[in-house]
Amino acid sequence: MNKLFKLLLLSIVCCSNLALAHSDIDKNKDSLKVSFVDDPVVANFDSVLLANYSYTEELFSEDLFSDLLEIPEFSDSIYDLRIKALDAKTPIDLVYNPFVKQYINVYTKQRRTQMSRMMGLAEYYFPMFEEVLDQFDLPLELKYLAIVESALNPRAKSWAGATGLWQFMYNTGKEYDLKVSSYVDERMDPYRATVAACRYFQGSYNIYGDWSLVLASYNSGRGNVNKAIRRSGGHKNYWRIRRFLPKETRSYVPAFIAVCYAMNYAPEHRISIAKPRMSHYQVDTIEVKYQIDFEYLAASLDMSVTELEFLNPSYKINVIPNIKGRKYYLSLPIGKMGVFVANEKEVYAHFMQLAEQKQKEYPKYTEHNERVVHRVQSGDYLGKIAVRYGCSVSKIRKWNNLKNDNIRVGQKLILYVRPDYV
């Protein structure tokens, strides 16, 4: 009987342990779901590419087969030597470590075709970047940061609202004189945004005196870098304060170093350049005297709307406005610019005639918060509407005297929306 009792007890214990083991597995499963999330830098790289894939597809003259080629493998010592060679040419601290290697693999193995296109777009944008960086006496290697930020998509927009090649938030853009209206978003103007980014770099370097901290502050803000410095005991070295920085910023500098590497050693990794159909030097700019839209310009100049969007990304609704006291410019390939200048009066006159005939209505020009009426659709809820219009749920409730978050289909909500969300 005693023996039987012991066997029964042992059985109960074993079952209990098994149940606990299953419970732990379940817990681990839950923790895995939390732990294995997409890398924030890579996720951003993918999102800005996908958002503009069809936009860029038309701009390249050839298909690439980088993904079909055998991918070379290199030892850590080779990577280290190559990055040391790059480091010797720049005041920015470039180092090789496992964090950097992770992103080298992303850009040279996992995203080879995307890198081909980035290299092609770099041939268009980098001459201008270098010119502005040189004017500010800044390291030319900072041009690679735009790849990390936007994958060189001038119309890139993050989930948080950061916009353009250099991913300026609305308020930061205003701080650096980037104007946003219902027609124009200067954060998407390649030249103006580059000037603003250089002003930021210069200001941050004056504070930190370290380029890695400048990069970190560009991603997470100076406040987060300052907090990380304090929490580290006063260290002013990125790798010493890295663990105190936000998660994305911990990945940001390694990703930048990896992009520097990938852009300079692409041939060694058998990554070819997707040549764009036009270069920076084949484009000219002219001041526009009257309002005109891209659809008409494309038809008049025998161009595609896509080409006009690429050359003039700051015009949000593909219309160049005519606002008193403001100057707006049109960029065209040199050959098309000749046609436009030779027929400028006729182009404007014909457009205005067509616009009158079609009775096409254009939205009101605004630079300030605009009153918008949103009619609630099926599937809408206050959080979703708040994200759509760049405001908070509490403000929507306040503007509409709502006692709670309950809304109904067909209900009209009054919102006051920034021009970049109109």
Is 41-269 assigned to CATH 3.40.630.30? no
- For residue 125, the SS3 value is helix
How far the first Cα of the chain sits from its last, in Å, is 82
Gap between the Cα atoms of 346 and 321, Å rounded: 18
Count other C-beta atoms under 10 Å from residue 363's C-beta: 13
pLDDT band at 401 (very low <50, low <70, confident <90, very high): confident
pLDDT exceeds 50 at position 388: yes
pLDDT exceeds 80 at position 24: no
Tell me the average pLDDT across 19-38.
Answer: 40
Tokens of 128: 């201008």
Model confidence pLDDT, tens digit, residues 322-380: 888 889 999 999 999 999 999 998 988 888 887 777 666 777 777 767 778 899 999 99
Nearest Cα neighbor of 49 from 157, 125, 153 is: 153
pLDDT exceeds 70 at position 394: yes
Residue type present at position 20: L
pLDDT band at 1 (very low <50, low <70, confident <90, very high): very low
Tell me the average pLDDT across 373-394.
Answer: 89
Model confidence pLDDT, tens digit, residues 293-324: 999 999 899 999 999 999 999 999 999 998 88
Buried b (16+ CB within 10 A) or exposed e, 298-326: bebbebeebbbbbbbbbbbeebbbeeeee
Q: What is the pLDDT of residue 359?
A: 63
pLDDT band at 48 (very low <50, low <70, confident <90, very high): low
Domain boundaries along the sequence of the chain: 41-269, 280-358, 370-421
> pLDDT > 70: what percent of the chain?
82
Q: How far, rounded to the nearest angstrom, does the alpha carbon of residue 154 sit from its chain's CA centroid?
A: 8
Q: What is the pLDDT of residue 57?
A: 60
Q: Are 297 and 345 in contact (CB under 8 A)?
A: no
- For residue 61, the SS3 value is coil
pLDDT band at 25 (very low <50, low <70, confident <90, very high): very low
C-alpha triplet 280, 44, 151: angle, nearest 5°: 10
The DSSP secondary structure of 301-345, one letter per residue, reads: HT--HHHHHHH-TTBTTSEE---TT--EEEEEEHHHHHHHHHTHH
Q: What is the pLDDT of residue 68?
A: 59
Gap between the Cα atoms of 63 and 397, Å rounded: 51
Lowest mean pLDDT among 5-14, 83-92, 394-403: 5-14
Gap between the Cα atoms of 137 and 93, Å rounded: 17
Q: What is the pLDDT of residue 49?
A: 55
Tell me the average pLDDT across 396-415.
Answer: 91
Q: Which residue has the tokens 């380029």?
A: 211
pLDDT exceeds 70 at position 62: no
pLDDT band at 105 (very low <50, low <70, confident <90, very high): very high
- Same-fold call for 41-269 versus 370-421: no
Q: What is the pLDDT of residue 34?
A: 36
Model confidence pLDDT, tens digit, residues 255-287: 999 999 999 999 999 998 888 777 888 999 999
Mean of per-residue pLDDT scores for the chain:
85
Gap between the Cα atoms of 405 and 392, Å rounded: 12
Q: Are 205 and 172 in contact (CB under 8 A)?
A: no
Q: Which residue has the tokens 């990390």?
A: 148
Q: Using the 8-state DSSP alphabet, how is residue 69 labeled?
A: S
pLDDT band at 126 (very low <50, low <70, confident <90, very high): very high
Q: Which phi and psi angles does 82 have, rounded to 5°?
A: -65, -45
- Domain 370-421: assigned CATH number: 3.10.350.10
Q: What is the pLDDT of residue 66?
A: 54
Q: Are 157 and 180 in contact (CB under 8 A)?
A: no
Tell me the average pLDDT across 125-139.
Answer: 97
